[in-house]
Amino acid sequence: MDNSFAFSEVVRKLANIIRLGKIAEIDGDQVRVEIGRVKTGWLPIVSNAGNTSLWLPISEGEQVAVFAPYGEMAQAFVLRSIHYDTYKVPENVNNLSLTTDKNVKLNGSENYEASFSKGLKFISEKCVISLDDHGITLKVGNSTISLGENSISLSNGASSIDISSSNISLSSGSITTSPPLCKCSGGLR
């Protein structure tokens, strides 16, 4: 074997061990990476697999590292992701941040449990669900239901009903029930 060929083969393999590039094409769990002017074949993406699994969809243009054991691109895989101009680091790097334009799905065979020290808020286009030390609030448009430790409040923007351990109050309108709550005169007080 020619020594110059052997040396150039070693240099090629060393250069291929770790390469940086950007995602050019996506096909499910495999991608093609553009490294300079060269596009790789279809490569698998490293993710969390096993009994506890996490799948994060990858984006075209995402900057990644391609690892090729022994410099062989046929065995290469993609390790994601390196922040840069298009996909910037979050403003507060000390906070856990999840930003996505995809649907989020949780599957589990056991109960879910979450711990948050200051509260949790779910926001959709028209609805908000808030949980904190003061209680739970459900809001849809102008309608709100609030559950506190010793109180319940219902409001539709124009009127409200507040129920506490010793009191029921109505801000406007009247309360009617079917069937009536009682047959006493004077109604609720």
pLDDT tens track for 115-153: 777 888 888 888 999 998 889 999 999 999 999 988 999
Residue 144 buriedness (CB in 10 A; 0-12 / 13-18 / 19+) = middle
Domain 3-50+57-82 has CATH 3.30.365.10: no
| pLDDT tens-digit series, residues 151-181 | 999 998 888 888 887 777 777 766 655 565 5
Q: Quick one: CA torsion of 131, 123, 100, 113, rounded to 10 degrees?
A: 30
CB-side exposure of 146: number of CA atoms within 13 Å?
18
Q: What is the mean pLDDT of residues 21-25?
A: 95
Of all residues in the chain, what percent carry a pLDDT higher than 70?
A: 90
Q: What is the mean pLDDT of residues 75-89?
A: 84
pLDDT band of 72, cuts 50, 70, 90: confident
Residue 73 has pLDDT above 70, yes or no: yes
pLDDT of residue 185: 55
CB-side exposure of 167: number of CA atoms within 13 Å?
6
**Rounded Cα–Cα distance for residues 86 and 183 (Å):** 69
Higher-scoring residue by pLDDT: 23, 2:
23
| pLDDT tens-digit series, residues 90-117 | 777 777 777 777 777 777 777 777 777 7
- Reading the block at residue 107, the tokens are 């599957």
SS3 call for 165? coil
pLDDT of residue 176: 59
Provide the residue ranges of all domains of the chain, joining segments of one domain with +. 3-50+57-82, 120-170
144 CA to centre of own chain = 25
Residue 39 has pLDDT above 80, yes or no: yes
**Rounded Cα–Cα distance for residues 146 and 65 (Å):** 49
Helix boundaries (H) for 71-151: none
Q: What is the mean pLDDT of residues 34-47?
A: 93
**pTM, whole model, 2 decimals?**
0.59
